Amino acid sequence: MPSPTNERQALERERAELPGQISAHQAELAATPATNKARLERLAWQIREREKWLADVRKRLAALQGRPGLRTS
């Protein structure tokens, strides 16, 4: 896939990719034995960080859509 040409396209691509990354980490977390505490903590941290980033991406996209002169579709 070619690189996005602007910030909005980059954010839209991230918004589309992040839920899949979160789901993959959740599945990996569920499959990790409870005895592997370090891995469990790392996966939980990665999930939280991606959820925070997804919220930020959505907020930034909403702000971009409010700017005059930008197409939102």
Residue 31 lies in a domain: yes
Q: Within a domain: residue 49?
A: yes
Using N-to-C axis directions, what is the helix angle for 37-65 and 7-31, rounded to 10°? 160
Residue 70 lies in a domain: no
For residues 12 and 61, the answer to whether their CB atoms sit within 8 Å is yes
pTM for the structure as a whole = 0.80
Number of domains in the chain: 1
Cβ burial of 6 (10 Å; 0-12, 13-18, 19+) is exposed
Q: What is the domain range of residue 48?
A: 7-65
CA 19 to each of CA 12, 33, 49: distance values in angstroms, whole numbers, following the listed order: 12, 23, 12
Residues 7-51 have pLDDT tens digits of 999 999 999 999 999 999 999 999 999 999 999 999 999 999 999
